[in-house]
Chain A
Amino acid sequence: MALLDVCGAPRGQREDWAFPHAGSRQRSDPGHYSFSLRSPELALPLGMQPTEFFRSLGGNGERNIQIEMAHGTTTLAFKFQHGLIVAVDSRASAGNYIGTLTVNKVIEMNPYLLGTMSGCAADCQYWERLLAKECRLYYLRNGERISVSAASKLLSNMMCQYRGMGLSMGSMICGWDKKGPGLYYVDADGTRLSGNMFSTGSGCSHAYGVMDTGYRPDLSIEEACDLGRRAIVHATHRDSYSGGVVNMYHVKEDGWLKVESTDVSDLMYQYREASQ
């Protein structure tokens, strides 16, 4: 009760009638989410049962609305001798409709850390921005930049908390820290894997095909960029949910560098002409 707060409550426990929404005061609002550092908590709207909600929207529910979680995208990242290459497409689709061709699917968390996004755009953007905030706080508290493994661990812990509630996110956390180049794949199921090469999204199998054919750990920077470029372009060519431009980043010891943002159709024509 607002009036009670302003006037000041008398000492002792307040009567039960003073709390009509008994649960609401104890729930923390999402802006102060503490990631269970202090006590287990979940930021949920009142009365919300996410698993029930999603089941009700599926084919067997009373309503005949099917919400398909679109995973339309192709993103990839791989390590090589000169660091990391991160390449993503830029198409956002809503079912069969292309929403936009100019989405930025890489979030620049700090000059040394990148996160890619695939899956539900809103989930990716929200959680990775929250991760960027946590990384910044880590730097301010500890006087040194967060490691890639710690950043990816924070993100996967956030995902584990909401496991089974319908989050859809497949992300790669890429960066360079004291231990060298770091590449982690983090998933909305709470999966967290370290590796040398990952690709996510609906076009990932096409991208893997091209990358696996041309990958060597001792690629030069030019060759690595070309490999990433080709992988995205060929994936966008065959996967209808990917397209737009190739956004490519190169992560080095002194930070990341945005290499290019090239239209995939132009590149496809170039490759066609070159092979003829």
Chain B
Amino acid sequence: MASQYDRAITVFSPDGHLLQVEYAQEAVKKGSTVVGIRGADIVVLGVEKKSVAKLQDERIVRKICALDDHVCMAFAGLTADARVVINRARVECQSHKLTVEDPVTVEYITRFIATLKQKYTQSNGRRPFGISALIVGFDNDGIPRLYQTDPSGTYHAWKANAIGRSAKTVREFLEKNYTEDAIANDSEAIKLAIRALLEVVQSGGKNIELAIIGRKQPLKMFSAKEIELQVNETGKKKEEAKKKKSKKTA
């Protein structure tokens, strides 16, 4: 009896595409939106909370996960696949600490996750992971970092990015609005993330989850009240900006 699979699932198409990987990217596009922003002294992750059934306890559904004290990630795509990847990444963070006696750099753990994803595009009997991840954190040198990985196993560094449903819209918003002023201080960066999410999230602050990591500080998840506060402040700013504009034209 065969103890190992002997056929690959991810094989090249005649025009040079790995169709399974591309289908996995389609699965990612079905997931709820995640936005990540790299500020000067802060990194922000915002996710769109999927609406849950009436009887479901929504506190357990967490799309933002800490990988270690100084690194965290959010994903878009298949939740079950993400659980596997996050678990492997958490083990690797501790294993690295044990062997090298230093915490992982954000780039190292991103490279590990990307290598893991690539392995599954080139193994017998396995399909690619159906998630893209945004990995944020601070290295020991105090520099903030934001990386994105996708199902093919590539990774890139970004100043700000979005993945999941309507990622294109959010990214266009960020391209217009990510300026040096916009990320000048922590609260500005948080507001930028909220504004970016509000572009595509229907019902406002109730459906947003937010987390930040500051230099030398652990992951902080915002409570629903704090998010409500931030959303209101963002709304107020928008009103003031509108008023100023209308005054000018009048």
Q: Which of B1, B99, B105 contacts A153 (CB 8 A)?
A: B99
Query: Residue of B at shortest CB range from A151?
Result: B100
- Please state if B2 and A12 are interface contacts (CB–CB under 8 Å): yes
What 0/1 readout, one digit per residue, does chain A (93-104) give for beta carbons within 8 Å of chain B?
A: 000000000000
The answer to whether A150 and B100 touch across the interface, beta carbons within 8 angstroms, is: yes
Most buried by B among A13, A154, A157: A13
Smallest Cβ-Cβ distance to A11: which chain B residue: B6
Closest-CB distance, B7 to chain A (whole angstroms): 9
Decide yes or no whether B101 CB sits under 8 A from chain A: yes
- Bound state CA distance, A154 and B101, in angstroms? 11
How distant is the Cα of A146 from the Cα of B102 in the complex, in angstroms? 11
Chain B residues with CB under 8 A of A154: 99
Chain A-chain B contacts (Cβ-Cβ < 8 Å), number: 24
Which residues of B71-106 are within 8 A (CB) of A? 99-102, 105
CB closest residue in chain B, given A152: B101
- Tell yes or no: A213 within 8 A of B by CB: no
Residues of A within 8 A of B99 (CB): 150, 153-154, 157
Which B-chain residue is minimally distant from A144 (CB atoms)? Answer: B105
CA distance A157 to B3 in the complex (A): 32
Asked if A149 contacts B108 (CB within 8 A), the reply is no
Contact A153 B3 (CB under 8 A): no
Assess the A147–B1 pair: CB atoms within 8 A: no
By beta carbon, the residue of chain B nearest A179 is B102
| Interchain CB contact under 8 A, A153 and B2 | no
B100 touches A147 (CB 8 A): yes
- Once A13-B1, A142-B108 are accepted as A-B contacts, the answer to whether A149 and B6 lie under 8 Å apart by CB is no
CB pair B2–A147 under 8 Å, yes or no, is no
By the criterion CB–CB under 8 Å, are A153 and B108 in contact? no
Q: Mark B1-23, 1 if CB is under 8 A from A, else 0.
A: 11100100000000000000000
Task: Tell me the smallest distance from the CB of B203 to a CB of chain A, in Å.
Answer: 44
Which single residue of chain A is at the shortest CB-CB distance from B140? Answer: A178
* Complex-state Cα separation, A13 to B4, whole angstroms: 9
In the complex, the chain A residue whose C-beta lies closest to that of B141 is: A178
Q: How far is the CB of B105 from chain A (nearest CB, A)?
A: 8
Contact partner of A13 (CB less than 8 A), chosen from B3, B101, B102, is B3
- In chain A, positions 18-34 with a C-beta closer than 8 Å to chain B are none
B1 touches A150 (CB 8 A): no
User: Which residues of the other chain, B, contact A153 by a CB distance below 8 angstroms?
Assistant: 99-101
Residues of A close to B1: CB separation below 8 A: 13
Is the CB–CB distance between A147 and B101 below 8 Å?
Answer: yes
Contacts of B100 in A (CB 8 A): 146-147, 149-150, 153
Q: Smallest distance from the beta carbon of A77 to chain B beta carbons, Å?
A: 19
Contacts of B6 in A (CB 8 A): 11-12
A153 to B99, CA, bound (A): 6
B2 engages A150 (CB within 8 Å): no
List residues 192-220 of chain A with CB under 8 A from any CB of chain B.
none
CB interface residues, A 130-158, toward B, < 8 Å: 142, 146-147, 149-150, 153-154, 157
Using a CB-CB cutoff of 8 Å, which residues 220-236 of chain A contact chain B? none
Of the A-B pairs whose beta carbons lie under 8 Å apart in the complex, a sample of 17, sorted by A's number, is A11-B6, A12-B2, A13-B1, A13-B2, A13-B3, A142-B105, A142-B108, A146-B100, A147-B100, A147-B101, A149-B100, A149-B101, A149-B102, A150-B99, A150-B101, A153-B101, A157-B99
B residues apposed to A, CB below 8 Å: 1-3, 6, 99-102, 105, 108
**A interface residue numbers (CB < 8 A to B):** 11-13, 142, 146-147, 149-150, 153-154, 157
5 new A-B contacts, CB < 8 A, other than A147-B101, A157-B99, are: A12-B6, A149-B100, A149-B102, A150-B99, A154-B99
| Top 5 A-B residue pairs of the complex, sorted by shortest distance between their CB atoms | A150-B100, A149-B101, A13-B2, A153-B99, A12-B2
